[in-house]
């Protein structure tokens, strides 16, 4: 492979790190011919470092690249550490589990694990939602000092469904409840038809660094009699992850 090909491959990977793109959009993003980008994507997909969301659709970074990233710092890379927990939660609860971080007043989804069920939910990896619209964002904010919350509420809050909280006082009240419970539930607040529960993953100093969540179709998730138990299950998982990251 030529140096130019390597440089172009890295241009593709850097672009995909900011979100999923189709071939045409990606070609425009990195200023290369569409045919060149298509060939690069095919080669990268064959190695598992990029993956196509669906046939003929957008591309995003693949698990092969994430595995390489995780191997560079064993036991400390966030995605590599959390991945087994996502798979376990997804299998035990029968719904999708995910990992996210905060990026520019939004939740950015880093990873996703989903069980084989009759009704599947979409993969949100590399996509974003407003911070206060989803439980993972709320759970992370619950660990922030008031000054950081003030920064979030300084600008108008964005709504994505009719149920999204946009009143700062209502969001603060929700955060107060989350601080008492240790976990957050959201009912169609971020995405229509999807309910979610989340907790914050903390570093060794107790500061939130990421969100751990499980979500599923509103008609089946959650079992109303298990909301507290599911929340505590995620709290326990987050504690285990924090312990691993601190080792």
Q: Please count the CA atoms within 13 angstroms of the CA of 139 that sit on its side-chain side.
A: 30
> What percent of the chain clears pLDDT 70, i.e. is strictly above it?
89
Rounded average pLDDT over 168-186: 97
Q: How far apart are CA 147 and CA 214, in angstroms?
A: 29
pLDDT of residue 76: 42
* Least confident window among 57-71, 89-103, 114-128, 158-172: 57-71
Rounded average pLDDT over 125-131: 88
In 104-243, beta strands by DSSP E? 106-113, 128-130, 184-187, 194-202, 208-217
Rounded average pLDDT over 137-142: 97
> Domain coordinates of the chain in residue numbers?
3-66, 74-246
pLDDT of residue 120: 63
Contact 157, 130 (CB under 8 A): yes
Q: What angle do CA 67, 72, 236 make, to 5 degrees?
A: 65
CATH T-level fold of 3-66? Arc Repressor Mutant, subunit A (1.10.10)
Contact 199, 184 (CB under 8 A): yes
pLDDT of residue 74: 38
pLDDT digits (tens, 9 = 90+) for 224-235: 999 999 999 999
Asked whether the domain spanning 74-246 has the same topology as the one spanning 3-66, the reply is: no
First-residue to last-residue Cα distance in the chain: 40
Q: Is the pTM of this model over 0.75?
A: no
Q: What are phi and psi of 232, to 5 degrees?
A: -65, -30
Does position 75 have pLDDT exceeding 50, yes or no? no
Q: Return the CATH number of 74-246, one of 3.40.50.2300, 2.30.42.10, 3.30.450.40, 3.30.450.20.
A: 3.30.450.40
Give Cβ neighbours of residue 34 (< 8 Å, ≥ 6 apart): 23, 24, 27
- How does residue 46 score in pLDDT terms, banded at 50, 70 and 90? confident
- How does residue 45 score in pLDDT terms, banded at 50, 70 and 90? confident
3-state secondary structure of 169: helix
Contact 129, 102 (CB under 8 A): no
Contact 246, 206 (CB under 8 A): no
């Amino acid at each position: 492979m030529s140096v130019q090909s390597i440089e172009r491959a890295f241009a593709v990977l850097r672009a995909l790190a900011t979100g999923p793109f189709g071939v045409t959009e990606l070609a425009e993003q990195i200023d290369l011919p569409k045919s060149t980008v298509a060939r690069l994507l095919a080669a990268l997909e064959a190695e598992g470092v990029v993956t196509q969301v669906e046939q003929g659709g957008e591309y995003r970074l693949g698990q092969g690249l994430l595995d390489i990233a995780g191997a560079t710092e064993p036991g400390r890379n966030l995605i590599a550490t959390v991945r087994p927990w996502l798979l376990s939660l997804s299998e035990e609860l029968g719904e999708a589990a995910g990992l996210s971080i905060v990026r520019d007043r939004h939740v950015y989804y880093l990873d996703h694990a989903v069980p084989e069920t009759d009704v599947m939910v979409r993969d949100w990896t590399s996509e974003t939602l407003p911070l206060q619209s989803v439980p993972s964002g709320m759970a992370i904010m619950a660990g922030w000092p008031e000054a950081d919350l003030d920064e979030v509420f300084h600008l108008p809050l964005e709504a994505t469904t009719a149920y999204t909280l946009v009143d700062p006082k209502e969001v603060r009240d929700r955060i107060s409840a989350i601080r008492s419970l240790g976990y957050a539930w959201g009912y169609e607040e971020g995405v229509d038809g999807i309910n979610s529960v989340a907790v914050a993953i903390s570093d060794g100093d107790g500061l939130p660094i990421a969100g751990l969540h499980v979500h599923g179709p509103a008609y089946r998730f959650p079992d109303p009699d298990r909301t507290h138990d599911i929340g505590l299950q995620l709290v326990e998982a987050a504690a285990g992850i924090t312990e691993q990251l601190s080792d």
